Each structure stands twice: as structure tokens, then as C-alpha cells.
Structure 1
Amino acid sequence: MKYQYEEKQTNALDGSKVLPFNLLNAKIFYPEQQENKDGTPTVIEMAQTVVAPTAKKEVLDPKKALSYYASVVAGKYSWGKTMEAEHIVSIGKDATNDPVESPFAALTQQLQTFGC
């Protein structure tokens, strides 16, 4: 985490070096532009009424592989369908195949969708 937020730099459009996760957090949690501050209630409403229900519908869709891991729909790989021995050996293990790629992909998607 220290590397991602304090050391890993990338080139900005103006040619300067920036800490991308640091900038993203600042834009999201500490907006400086009045337009962004004014939009906060709208973003919260959209998250609650559009984004969350849509994400829930997608995750729980039995035609999609992600539902295999959801206990609420008794997914075949969900916590409720696995044995206690599997629970014990999975403690402390990474949940992704590549811990470096996951945050990078998430940041890329955010920048492509919403810009900076």
C-alpha cells in the first residue's frame, strides 16, 4: 500500500509525475472544485438508487460466474457451501490471482469512465 500511494508514479498529461492513487483519493474524498462539492448529494443518491441495485443484480445473476461465490444465492463456491477445513486454510490468503494487477485495473477503469 505504501508503494501504491506514496512511491509509484506515473506520467500526467502535462508531462509531470504524479501519484495516481493519491490523486484519485483526493478527488473523491477531498474535492476542491465547487462543482464536485455540489455534486456530492447527487452522487450519493445515484450510488444508492442505481449503482448498488445494479451491481447486486449482476453479482447475483445465476447465469454469471460471480454468483458461484455469493452465499445469499447458495453459490457452489460460497462460504456457506465450503467445509470448515477450507475456511481455515484460506485465512490470510490473497483473493486475487495477481495483487498488483487488481488495483491498477480498477484505477484504469475509473479514469476511463470518469476522467481525472
Structure 2
Amino acid sequence: MASSAQSSIYKVPKMDCPSEERMIRMALTGFDSILSLSFDLSNRKLEIIHRGETGAISSKLETMGLGASLQRTEEASPESVRATESSSANDSVANSQINNALRRIPVEREHRFRECER
């Protein structure tokens, strides 16, 4: 049985622009336990909807030098979890549609090789 989803709020004092948001997103890529990330740059807060413990997530955030500290963790609301699942499903559909469209684009390999020979 899967563990219930949790909502963890982090205070991140040195997160005040989209570049820090991107850094955090990149750093947390690959954490299978994370369902979603919500950034509030003006209040310098990060909400993470996840399953399981926060230890590895907190450790990763602490190494970034942005002053991240866990403020609280509580059970995520069913609405938050549904929104996350809906968003993930929509992302999967969109990615599939993009991949299918890219496969239909004709590739002019022979033309490219001729250009390289010049």
C-alpha cells in the first residue's frame, strides 16, 4: 500500500527569482517521492507534495546554500493530490502528443549529409 501524500513547506530565504526556482527544480529532479513543487517567490516559500519522509529532500535543499529549512509537514489535502495527479496525467498526454508529432516530421538526412561534404 502506498503511503499517504504529505505537504511539506520550506522557507527558502535566498530564493527570490526564477533562476533559484530552476536550480531547485533541477536539484530535485529524480526524486520519485515528489509529486509536485509549488513556488511562492515573493514569500520565499516552497511547498512540496510528496510521499514518504523528507530527509533526503531536506538534505538536498540544505546543500544548495539558499538557507532552506523545513517549516512543517502535514497530510496533503485530497484536492492537492487530485490536482497533482491530474497535472501529471495532462503532462503525459502532452508529451505523447509532442513525440507523435515529432515522429511525423520528415527527416532530410541525405540533404544534411551533402551539406556536410561541402
Task: Please identify which structure carries the higher helix content.
Answer: 1
**TM-score computed with the length of structure 1 as normaliser:** 0.29
- Higher-RCO chain (CA-CA 8 Å, sequence separation at least 6): 2
Please say which structure displays the higher CA radius of gyration: 2
